[in-house]
C-alpha cells in the first residue's frame, strides 16, 4: 500500500509540474508599442500560396509584402517591385535594390521566379494558380528584373499581384522549414513571425529590413482569436485589445457613442448573395427565379438584419469598386403581383415549394427567415435548411440545393467577383448557369486594357445577369472594425490590416 500511495502522490504531483514546464508562446509583456488585435478566428496557414480562408486577410499584409501595393482607393502602386506594361501580354518587373526577406535571403528576380513557379506548379495545389491567369512563362532577364509573359491578355493581373499571388516568400526558408513553413512563414512584410500558439496568440515583431524606411512604428503586433463578438468588444472596452475586427452591425450605434472608441466602416469588396439551382427543380425556370427576386424587399434586410450598415446589392459589383459600380443600377424592387403573374405564366397555380439552404450563422439564418416570410406572401412555400459551414462548399459544388447562400469576400477587380461565378465553366458557377453572352462579355473584359471600356463590358454583363437571375443578390456587407481612440490607422475596403502605417498615440 505504501508504494502505491507514493506512486499516486507522484502521479498527482506530476500534473502541475507538467504544466509549469511548458513555456507556451512568448510572454505577453506589454511594451509601449505593442498592439493587441482581436480577430474572429486564427488564420489557417501563413503561407500565401496556400491561403484560402477569410481569416487570413487580416493578418497576411503584416507578414507578407506583395510585388505591388494597393492604396485605400484601390489604385496600384509599386511595392517590392515597379512594373512596366510592355504590351498587353508582357509585363516587366524591376525589384528594388538591396532588399531581403525576414531570414536575410536576398530578394532578387530568381527568388521571384521561384515563387511564381511554385504557385503555378499543379503539384503544389495552390489556389493562386487560377488567379494568376494564362501565364506562359516567367523569365529572369537581369539580377533584379523579370518578365511575365501571357498566352492571352489578362487585365486583372496587376490587381491580383497586389494580393496573395504577389506575396513573395523566401525560397531558402521554404526549403529549410518544409511543412513548418505554414506556421513560421518567412516573407518580406513589415513584421516577422515571432511565435504562434493556436487559439491563443500570433505574435509578430517589427522587421528592421522592411523596404519602406522608418516603418513600421509599432514594435509588436499580437493577434488574439476571440470567437465571441460580445467578448471581443468587452476586451476592447477593458483595454486588453486596441483593435478588433468583426464588429457586429447591431453594435455600431452603441459603440459610436462611447468615448475612447472609434468605429470605422466602409463598403467591402464582396457580396452576400444566394445561388439559384438553374439545373433542376422549380428554379430551372427563369420566370420562377425572377418571381422569387420580385418577392424580396432589399430595404427590409438592410434595416432588420444589417442595421443600415453596408448597402443593398443588385449585382456583383460593389460600390467600393467605383469605376465599375453603377449606383443607378436597381433592376428589381418589391412587386408581389408581378411575382404571382410570373408564377402563373410558368404554370404554377399552387404555392411553389422551395428550400433555402444556409449555414447556421445567425446572420444568414435571419436573412433566410426574412426571404421566407416575404416569398410566402407571394406564391412560394419556403423551407429553410441549416447546414454547417464546412458542408457549404460541398453542397454548392454538388448542386444539392434549390437556393443556397454563396457569399464572396470579394476582390479589388470586378473580374474577381464575376468571372468564376458567371462564365459557363467557372468554378464558382454554382447556379449551373449557361450564358454565352455573359461568358463572352467577361472573357472580353479580361483582355481589354482601357478601364472605361472594361466598365462598359462589366455593366453589360450585370444587366444580362439581372435579366435571367442565376443569383439572388442581397447585400454589400460593410467592413466594420473598431479601435481605441489613440490608435491612428487606415481602414481598407478588403478588411485587411496594413499595420505598417498604424501609429499608437
Partner 1 sequence: MTRYIAYRVLALVPILLGTSFVSFGLIHLVPGDPVVAMLGLEADAQSIAALRAKLALDEPFLLQYVAWLSNIAIGDFGRSIQGERPVAALVFTALVPSAQLALAALAVSLLIAIPTGVVAARHRNGPKDLAASFVALCGLSLPSFWLGVLLILGLSVHVPLFPSSGYVPPLADPLGHLRHLALPALTLGAALAAATMRMTRATMIEVLRADYIRTARAKGLPEREVVWRHALRNTTIPLVTLVGIQLGQLLGGVVVTETVFAWPGIGKLTVDAIFARDYPVVQATILVTAALFVLLNLATDIAYAMLDPRIRLS
350 interacts with partner 1 by CB under 8 A: no
Closest CA to 486 of 504, 470, 502, 466: 504
**Residues of this chain, 236-255, that bind partner 1 according to CB under 8 A:** 237-240
Name the residue nearer to partner 1 (CB basis): 312 or 416.
416
Cβ 201 to partner 1, closest distance in Å?
8
* Choice from 13, 98, 104, 130 touching partner 1 (CB under 8 A): 130
CB 454 within 8 A of CB 448: yes
CB 235 within 8 A of CB 244: yes
Q: How far is CA 42 from CA 113, 164, 262, 341, in A?
A: 30, 17, 24, 49
227 interacts with partner 1 by CB under 8 A: yes
Judged by CB under 8 A, which stretch of 221-229, 259-267, 284-292, 474-482 contacts partner 1?
221-229
Cβ 109 to partner 1, closest distance in Å?
26
Name the residue nearer to partner 1 (CB basis): 40 or 82.
40
Name the residue nearer to partner 1 (CB basis): 353 or 485.
485
* Choice from 90, 141, 230, 437 touching partner 1 (CB under 8 A): 230
**If binding means CB under 8 A, how many residues of this protein chain bind partner 1?**
67
Name the residue nearer to partner 1 (CB basis): 295 or 359.
359
The DSSP code for 480 is E
Q: How many CB atoms lie within 10 A of CB 380?
A: 23
* Choice from 73, 337, 388, 436 touching partner 1 (CB under 8 A): 388
Compute the distance between CA of residue 322 and CA of residue 336 in angstroms, rounded to an integer: 32
The C-alpha cell at 327 is 449606383
* Choice from 71, 90, 176, 199 touching partner 1 (CB under 8 A): 199
* Choice from 117, 139, 228, 383 touching partner 1 (CB under 8 A): 228
**Residues of this chain, 76-105, that bind partner 1 according to CB under 8 A:** none
394 interacts with partner 1 by CB under 8 A: yes
427 interacts with partner 1 by CB under 8 A: yes
Compute the distance between CA of residue 381 and CA of residue 343 in angstroms, rounded to an integer: 13
Closest CA to 435 of 485, 384, 471: 471
Name the residue nearer to partner 1 (CB basis): 31 or 213.
31
CB 125 within 8 A of CB 237: no
Cβ 200 to partner 1, closest distance in Å?
4
Compute the distance between CA of residue 250 and CA of residue 169 in angstroms, rounded to an integer: 39
31 interacts with partner 1 by CB under 8 A: no
Cβ 187 to partner 1, closest distance in Å?
16
CB within 8 Å of 275: residues ≥ 6 apart? 396, 401, 403, 404, 405, 406, 430, 431, 470, 471, 472
* Choice from 13, 24, 256, 437 touching partner 1 (CB under 8 A): 24
Compute the distance between CA of residue 121 and CA of residue 4 in angstroms, rounded to an integer: 60
Q: Are strands 90-95 and 81-87 parallel, antiparallel or unpaired?
A: antiparallel
Q: How many CB atoms lie within 10 A of CB 346?
A: 16
Judged by CB under 8 A, which stretch of 198-206, 306-314, 445-453, 461-469 contacts partner 1?
198-206
- Containing 201, the helix (H) or strand (E) segment is strand 201-206
Give the residues lining the site for partner 1 (CB under 8 A).
Answer: 1, 4-5, 8, 11-12, 15-16, 18-29, 44-45, 50, 52-53, 122-127, 129-131, 179-180, 182-183, 197-201, 224-228, 230-231, 234-235, 237-240, 388-391, 393-395, 397, 408, 427-428
Amino acid at each position: 500500500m505504501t508504494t502505491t500511495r507514493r506512486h499516486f502522490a507522484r502521479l498527482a504531483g506530476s500534473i502541475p509540474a507538467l504544466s509549469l514546464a511548458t513555456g507556451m508562446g512568448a510572454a505577453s509583456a506589454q511594451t509601449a508599442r505593442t498592439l493587441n488585435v482581436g480577430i474572429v478566428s486564427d488564420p489557417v496557414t501563413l503561407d500565401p500560396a496556400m491561403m484560402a480562408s477569410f481569416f487570413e486577410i487580416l493578418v497576411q499584409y503584416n507578414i507578407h509584402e506583395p510585388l505591388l501595393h494597393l492604396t485605400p482607393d484601390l489604385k496600384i502602386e509599386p511595392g517590392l517591385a515597379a512594373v512596366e506594361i510592355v504590351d498587353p501580354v508582357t509585363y516587366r518587373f524591376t525589384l528594388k535594390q538591396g532588399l531581403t526577406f525576414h531570414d536575410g535571403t536576398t530578394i532578387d528576380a530568381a527568388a521571384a521566379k521561384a515563387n511564381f513557379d511554385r504557385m503555378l506548379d499543379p503539384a503544389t495545389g495552390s489556389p493562386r494558380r487560377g488567379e494568376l491567369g494564362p501565364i506562359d512563362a516567367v523569365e529572369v532577364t537581369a539580377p533584379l528584373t523579370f518578365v511575365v509573359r501571357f498566352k492571352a491578355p489578362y487585365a486583372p493581373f496587376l490587381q491580383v499581384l497586389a494580393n496573395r499571388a504577389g506575396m513573395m516568400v523566401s525560397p531558402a526558408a521554404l526549403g529549410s522549414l518544409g511543412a513548418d513553413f505554414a506556421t513560421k512563414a518567412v516573407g518580406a512584410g513589415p513584421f516577422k513571425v515571432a511565435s504562434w500558439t493556436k487559439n491563443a496568440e500570433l505574435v509578430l515583431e517589427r522587421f528592421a529590413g522592411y523596404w519602406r524606411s522608418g516603418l513600421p512604428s509599432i514594435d509588436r503586433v499580437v493577434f488574439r482569436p476571440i470567437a465571441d463578438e460580445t467578448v471581443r468588444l468587452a476586451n476592447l472596452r477593458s483595454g486588453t485589445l486596441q483593435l478588433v475586427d468583426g464588429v457586429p452591425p447591431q453594435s455600431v450605434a452603441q459603440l459610436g457613442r462611447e468615448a475612447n472608441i472609434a468605429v470605422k466602416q466602409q463598403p467591402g469588396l464582396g457580396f452576400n448573395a444566394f445561388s439559384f439551382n438553374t439545373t433542376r427543380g422549380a428554379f430551372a425556370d427563369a420566370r420562377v427565379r425572377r418571381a422569387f427576386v420580385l418577392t424580396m424587399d432589399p430595404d427590409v434586410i438592410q434595416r432588420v438584419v444589417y442595421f443600415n450598415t453596408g448597402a443593398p446589392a443588385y449585382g456583383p459589383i460593389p460600390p467600393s469598386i467605383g469605376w465599375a459600380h453603377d449606383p443607378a443600377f436597381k433592376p428589381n424592387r418589391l412587386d408581389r403581383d408581378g411575382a404571382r403573374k410570373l408564377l402563373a405564366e410558368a404554370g404554377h397555380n399552387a404555392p411553389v415549394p422551395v428550400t433555402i439552404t444556409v449555414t447556421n450563422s445567425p446572420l444568414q439564418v435571419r436573412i433566410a427567415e426574412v426571404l421566407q416570410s416575404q416569398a410566402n406572401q407571394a406564391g412560394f412555400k419556403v423551407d429553410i435548411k441549416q447546414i454547417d459551414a464546412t458542408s457549404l462548399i460541398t453542397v454548392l459544388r454538388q448542386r444539392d440545393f434549390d437556393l443556397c447562400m454563396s457569399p464572396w469576400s470579394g476582390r479589388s477587380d470586378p473580374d474577381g467577383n464575376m468571372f468564376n461565378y458567371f462564365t459557363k465553366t467557372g468554378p464558382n458557377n454554382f447556379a449551373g448557369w449557361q450564358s454565352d453572352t455573359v461568358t463572352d462579355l467577361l472573357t472580353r473584359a479580361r483582355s481589354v486594357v482601357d478601364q472605361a471600356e472594361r466598365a462598359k463590358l462589366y455593366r453589360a454583363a450585370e444587366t444580362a445577369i439581372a435579366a435571367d437571375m442565376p443569383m439572388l443578390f442581397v447585400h454589400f456587407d460593410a467592413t466594420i472594425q473598431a479601435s481605441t481612440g489613440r490608435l491612428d490607422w487606415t481602414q481598407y475596403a478588403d478588411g485587411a490590416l496594413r499595420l505598417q502605417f498604424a501609429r499608437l498615440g
